[in-house]
Amino acid sequence: MDVSGGRGQPRPGNDESAEHTGPEAPAPGGTGDAPTAPSAPTPADAKDARPEGPTPDAGAPAPGSGTPQDTGAAPDHGPPAHGRDRAPEHPEPPADRPARAPAGRPEHPDHPFAHSGSGKGQAPQRPEERRRGGLLMGRPFGVPVYVAPSWFLVAILITWVFGGQIDRVLPELGAASYLVSLFFAVAFYASVLVHELAHTLAALRFKLPVRRIQLQFFGGVSEIEKEAETPGREFVLAFVGPLLSLVLAGLFYLGLLAVDPGSVPGVLLAGLMVSNLIVAAFNLLPGLPLDGGRMLRAVVWAITGKPMTGTVAAAWVGRALAVCVLIGLPLLTQSGALGSDAVDNVGMDTVLDALLAAILAAIIWTGAGNSLRMARLREHLPELRARTLTRRAVPVESDTPLSEALRRANAAGARALVVVDADGVPVSLVREAAIVGVPEHRRPWVPAGTLAQDITDGMRVSAELAGEELLDALRATPATEYLVVEETGEIYGVLSAADVERAFVKAMARPS
């Protein structure tokens, strides 16, 4: 299962300004075990912010391999790499004259910059490294592989269940049967890792960045950050995982022919062969978020020419599949159709089968819903444009009193301050959260430059950036404000990460 990544939707910013231009209709979409939404930029407090890797989050949004539930979750592709940053090439307007108002962008004279926040803002908190996802096991092909804490729970469960089966087949092993079972659990997840590496190698071959691979309770996840550009590539990307599981099952079968089926190696090889067949068969079911669902999406996409149509079709098939699993799996088990004896009474095994079916059905249903939300988000992402979200800015010199800087901003109808040097070249951005923390009676004695964050290359973004390119550029250099410049290097204004985050959440909530 390759879930693209993202982990989730953006964390709320601490920018308290009341107005911004962006998509309408607030309400965040959920995330689940499937696609992860392209992460909105994570703001970081100016002075102590450190650039972080790709994140959530929060969304991000959802977007396999695994046990019968390598949920094959559909990739939820996060923001693409390569944002374009432009450095100014010409001197900016003098400090006593506001930067030109971006064309087509409404100003907000009723909400002066001086009062944005109303003292309620707090410095944004940098997220913890919780996104790592567990214990780092290595970096094959440069992609980190993590083992989630939940994996240890399923390893214990497999050891207990399979150990009891080995004890019945090879009673002479005694307690050692559980040691053999533990080896099986590790070997099985190694085959899950091979399944995920197949997705990863295909993604890298198509120049799609892979954030990480995670082994977890119900299998594995390859978090691919971008969507395949064509239905053919989407099909290949989804199919290689189950294909590798089938190849492994064949190799284990050939190994089984060379050993005594009643020996420890024979039992292990038989178990690995059957488990990989189950992984492949389950992931080939034609519903999102499974690999088969992504293959179905690719086929519908190729026929209709519309990726959204393919997503809708595969997601609804996935939801139907979830209902079938919820109802059908316990019935098949109880009837003996899966190889066990038929059961007439309700016992512990029946309850466990129903619980497993409910968990699998919930994961499939949630993943299908996340796939729909992510597809809708990708449709609306182009609405996130730096040019329309940017605030008008007033350039001031570093030693300008904060009260005077705010007076100029209010007079010009601007909502941001850019600190410039003697030649008018922008050097830093005044943080709105810092302004909020300065009492009004202290502002005449506080230089604007003391509240500013130095402008790094990553904090200069082109006014032409939009959609995933914009999100990616902001995620690469977390900050609360960014300097937006024209292609010529002329100041266009200041972009607040909080404004982008709100627009991101609204875009995710808007219907297609």
| β strands within 296-392, DSSP E | none
What are 145's strand-pairing partners?
Answer: 138, 213
Is residue 481 within a helix (H) or strand (E), and if so which, with residue range?
strand 481-485
Q: Which tokens sit at 130?
A: 């919780």
b/e burial code for range 22-40 (CB count within 10 A of at least 16 → b): bbeeeebbbbbbbbbbbbb
Residue among 226, 262, 264, 220 at smallest CA distance from 242: 220
What are 491's strand-pairing partners?
Answer: 485
pLDDT per position in the chain (512 positions), as tens? 555 443 333 333 333 333 333 333 333 333 333 333 444 444 333 333 333 333 333 333 333 333 333 443 333 333 333 333 333 333 333 334 444 444 444 444 344 454 443 333 333 333 333 455 689 999 999 999 999 988 888 889 889 888 888 888 888 888 888 999 999 999 999 999 999 999 999 999 999 999 999 998 778 889 998 889 999 999 999 999 999 999 999 999 999 999 998 899 999 999 999 999 999 999 999 999 899 999 999 999 999 998 889 999 999 999 999 999 898 888 877 776 555 554 454 555 677 778 888 888 888 898 888 888 877 777 777 778 999 999 999 999 999 999 999 999 999 999 999 999 988 899 999 998 899 999 999 999 999 999 999 999 889 999 999 887 888 888 888 888 999 999 888 889 999 998 988 888 887 676 65
Residue 372 near residue 312, CB atoms below 8 Å: yes
CB contact set of 26 (below 8 Å; sequence gap of 6+): 502, 505, 506, 509
How many other C-beta atoms can be found within 10 angstroms of the C-beta atom of residue 374? 36
How many other C-beta atoms can be found within 10 angstroms of the C-beta atom of residue 251? 15
pLDDT for residue 341: 52
Strands across the sheet containing 460-462: 460-462, 481-485, 491-496
| β strands within 78-209, DSSP E | 135-138, 145-147
pLDDT for residue 27: 33
Distances from the Cα of 68 to the Cαs of 33, 65, 243, 310, 374, in angstroms? 15, 8, 15, 24, 25
Tell which phi-psi region holds residue 336, choosing left (phi > 0), alpha (psi between -120 and 50) or beta. left
- Map residue 336 onto helix, strand or coil: coil
pLDDT for residue 218: 75
pLDDT for residue 227: 86
Residue 57 near residue 460, CB atoms below 8 Å: no
Residue among 451, 412, 401 at smallest CA distance from 97: 412
Residue with tokens 């034609």: 286
For residues 127 and 509, give the distance between their C-alpha atoms in angstroms, rounded to a whole number: 24
- Map residue 490 onto helix, strand or coil: coil
Is residue 221 within a helix (H) or strand (E), and if so which, with residue range?
strand 219-224
pLDDT for residue 290: 92
The torsion angles phi and psi of 8, rounded to 5 degrees, stand at 115, -165
pLDDT for residue 124: 34
Please provide the DSSP assignment of 154-179 as one string: HHHHHHHHHHHHHHHH-GGGTTHHHH
Length of the chain: 512
pLDDT for residue 380: 75
pLDDT for residue 336: 61
**Crossing angle, helix 497-509 and helix 467-476, to 10 degrees?**
140
Residue among 393, 398, 395 at smallest CA distance from 414: 393
For residues 431 and 149, give the distance between their C-alpha atoms in angstroms, rounded to a whole number: 39
Report yes or no on whether pTM surpasses 0.85: no
Torsion of CA 294, 297, 299, 303, to 10 degrees: -160
